[in-house]
Structure 1
Amino acid sequence: MSPQSRSPRLVVDPALPESISSVLRSAPETLRAVRMGDIPSARGPDPAKLFPTAAFLILIWALTSLSGMLMTLVLILVLTGLRRLTADPTARRERRRLRTAVDHASRFVLPEDLDADCGTLLRRAQDATETVLDSRVNRAGLLDTIDNAVTLPDQIWQIATRLVRLSSMRAEHRRIVPGTPPPEVAEAFSPYSKALEAAARSLTRRVQALEEYAAQVRRADEVYHSYRQLEQLSERAPQYEELIADTVGDELAVPHLRELTAQAQRIRDLFAESMEGARRAAGHLLRAEGPGR
């Protein structure tokens, strides 16, 4: 399935602590409700309960003493606290999610925040990042040009937030200029349209740099498997040499050994070349960030 037919995934600011980002990731529906403004008002004291309670305390004061009223107040507070502690844990978790989403409403990007073109770009960037992070060469620590676990999530966050801004400004532009202006004034509107187009081109180039990095990593990953197999065989090279020397004549043994060495070197060179390509692509990716980081 192509990125054009798939929605982007939720993006959470990687600078957030894990305790907060995990709550945000676990509640996409809550995040959508917050984004749509469907937020329950904060619960304050219930007047229907506040006034009878106050009257009850005044009565206790009148019938006993100030200390009696205070003891009754403490008892009421303790019972209220126990009631909250024994409340439905699911409801408590949902309140926590809602509170966290409201407090960090600017620290996540939903698919609904993007128009179709920007959503496609973000999905392409996410797919490229996933390719790099899941690669064997990355897990083996061979992509030492950049710290992918830190740099790539940061790249996705930067791209996502800028795509949100572009989507918003495109929508605003369509509201203000819903159709084609008359020819005699069209030139006056052109700079605004060109600014949006330039921003889209810049973000597209940045996503393409990320995809080029992923393509180079994929190529290195394909060679890496053969490279690892070769390394295991190289440890047994003396046994192979002995086998050739024992089973063929001397005049044939030398060419066989030379071919064994040459093939091994070709695989090593190919792997080194693929890793160098990945490192160059990583450098291009970092330069593609531009001055607006």
Structure 2
Amino acid sequence: MDPRALPPQLVVDPALPPDISFQLRTSPHFLRMARAGRLMDPPYNLALLLVLPGLLLMILAITNRGVAVVAALGMGMIGLMRWLAVEPTRRATKRRLRLAYEYAAHYVLPEELDYPCQMLLRRAQNAVDVILNSQVNRAGLIDTIDNRVTLPEEVWQIAQRLAKLSSMHAEHRRLIPRDLPSGMEDAFKPYTTALDAAWTSLSRRVRHLEKYAKQVVKADKVFHAHHRLEALAARTPDYQQLLAETVHDDLARTHVRELADQAAHVRKLFEESIYQARQSAGELLRTPLS
């Protein structure tokens, strides 16, 4: 399946501490619970687990039913052991839900976006994945804007605005009647125009990211070819000797010159591709969303 057709991923504020960010990313169920306003079920009451078997024990002790007394003790112990086994998990679960509520303004769920906004966010995430996973990025050749920091922040800013735009789209559809009375169209037009302008701006922003990713892909291909050529360049003396031994002198010199020219050409292509990628990155810096 084309990754562009997949829904976007959860987006978490990259400014959060790493441990908080990790717990939010690994708890999408609790994030959805928090968005829905749901709470945890009431915890097991330790007092009930102890008191009820205790009362039963007292009653049975009065009636001198020894076997029943042992059974009552067993029931109490089973209840207590179950509580001890379940309670740590419940505490961890409650903590994750509490974090989901506490940091509710620091994440965007895919389902909070309408379909067009989902697809736009997915395009932004795909572009960033391409850039961050590229060879030239890992080699530090296009770190003009500190990609590991700047690009996640860029996606976060886009996701926040898309979430707000989706919400306003839904409100807009609820408030504006499908069949407007004659002469009322112009009264509603500025609101529609405002939403369209916001969408256009965000779309342009994502296209900048995609342009950057496209240049990075191109740089990666040249980078790969450049590495291959360097491996061949290390054996240039062997090729020169072969030419000298087997080819007429004038023709040999021509071939040797071609070897040198080709190496210089690939090097130039590589430098140009890196420059173009950095230029594309610079466009993001010149018009920051944050």
What TM-score does the superposition give when structure 1 sets the normalisation length? 0.82
1:61-140 equivalence runs, <5 A: 87-140=86-139
1:206–1:289: 8 Å Cα contact kept in structure 2?
no
Residue correspondence of structure 1 range 179-194 to structure 2 within 5 A: 179-194=178-193
TM-superposed CA distance for 1:261, in Å, is: 0.8
Structure 1: which 4+ aligned runs deviate by more than 6 Å?
Answer: 45-49, 82-85
Per the alignment, residue 241 of structure 1 pairs with 240
- Measured against aligned partners, the alpha-carbon deviations of 1:223-259 in whole angstroms (never above 9, x if no partner) come to 1111011112222222322222222231221001011
Q: Does 1:145 align with 2:183?
A: no
TM-superposition CA deviations, 1:119-139 (whole Å, max 9, x none): 110000000000000111111
Percent sequence identity over matched residues?
Answer: 52
Q: Distance in 2 between matches of 1:223 and 1:181?
A: 57
What is the aligned-residue RMSD (CA, Å)?
Answer: 2.6
Partner of 2:16: 16
Contact map agreement 1:114 1:163 (CA 8 A) in 2: yes
Letter in 2 for 1:170: H
Partner of 1:207: 206
> In the superposition, relative to structure 1, how do residues 95 and 146 fare at CA in structure 2: closer, same or farther (>3 Å)?
same
Counterpart-to-counterpart distance in 1, 2:209 and 2:268: 25
**CA contact 2:208–2:283 (8 Å) conserved in 1:** yes
Work out the CA distance in 1 between the residues paired with 2:23 and 2:266: 46
Question: Residue 263 of structure 1 aligns with which residue?
Answer: 262
* 3-state SS of paired residue (1:181): coil
CA distance in 2, matches of 1:188, 1:226: 59
Name the aligned partner's letter for residue 232 of structure 2: L
One-letter amino acid matched to 1:289: P
Asked if the contact 1:30–1:101 (Cα under 8 Å) also holds between the matched residues in 2, the reply is yes
1:252 alignment partner in structure 2: 251
Change (3 A) 1:26 1:101: same
Please give the alpha-carbon distance, in whole angstroms, between the structure 1 residues aligned to 2:280 and 2:135: 17
Deviation of 1:172 after TM superposition, in Å, equals 1.0
Offset at residue 90 of structure 1 (A): 3.0
Counterpart in 2 of 1:27?
27
2:124 & 2:246 partners in 1: Cα distance? 55
Taking a change above 3 Å as real, the CA distance of residues 247 and 89 of structure 1, as seen in their structure-2 partners, is: farther
1:25 counterpart letter in structure 2 = R
Is 7-16 or 174-183 further displaced after alignment? 174-183
- Which residue is equivalent to 2:61? none
DSSP 3-state at the match of 1:106: helix
What is the one-letter code of the residue matched to 1:283? G
Alignment size in residue pairs: 263
Residues in 2 aligned to 1:223 and 1:167: alpha-carbon distance in whole angstroms: 40
CA-CA distance at 1:211 after TM superposition: 0.4
Deviates most, 153-162 or 252-261: 252-261
